[in-house]
Amino acid sequence: MLHKLEKDGWHKEIYTRILVEEQETARLLEFVKKHPARVEDFHTYLLERFPEETKELFQAHIENTANRSSTRKHYQDVCRIIRMLQRAGGETEAQQSVRMLLAKYPRKSALREELIKLRFQ
């Protein structure tokens, strides 16, 4: 049944709910790798068994979100994700993400202001 749901894109919510209930964390990790934004939803299930991979997924999600961001509200969302990574035990990774974004976007002053508010550089 899981193989059928893996291939059927219409049932992602059912598929992920089953993975969580059945504690299929390896499959859940593979799903999140294909859909990095979902790390926000499933990091609590993945952290215990896959801490490094989960932190890497957060970093990829942060970078992808920042790449698509163009307004202060978007930048605040990037910072929200960074704080989520920090709370998930990724203090070092969160700091790396902030440094990377500051270096990558030196002309986005609103992004810089929001990142500086995080106060852990």
pTM of the model: 0.88
Tell me which of 4 and 20 has the higher pLDDT: 20
Binned at pLDDT 50, 70 and 90, residue 56 comes out as very high
So what's the pLDDT on residue 95? 95
Residue 89: left (phi > 0), alpha (psi -120 to 50), or beta? left
**CA separation for the pair 71, 54 (Å, rounded):** 27
Is residue 6's pLDDT more than 80? no
7 Cβ contact list (under 8 Å, min separation 6):
none
Binned at pLDDT 50, 70 and 90, residue 51 comes out as very high
Q: Express each pLDDT in 87-109 by its tens digit.
A: 999 999 999 999 999 999 999 99
Determine the average pLDDT of the residues in 107-114: 96
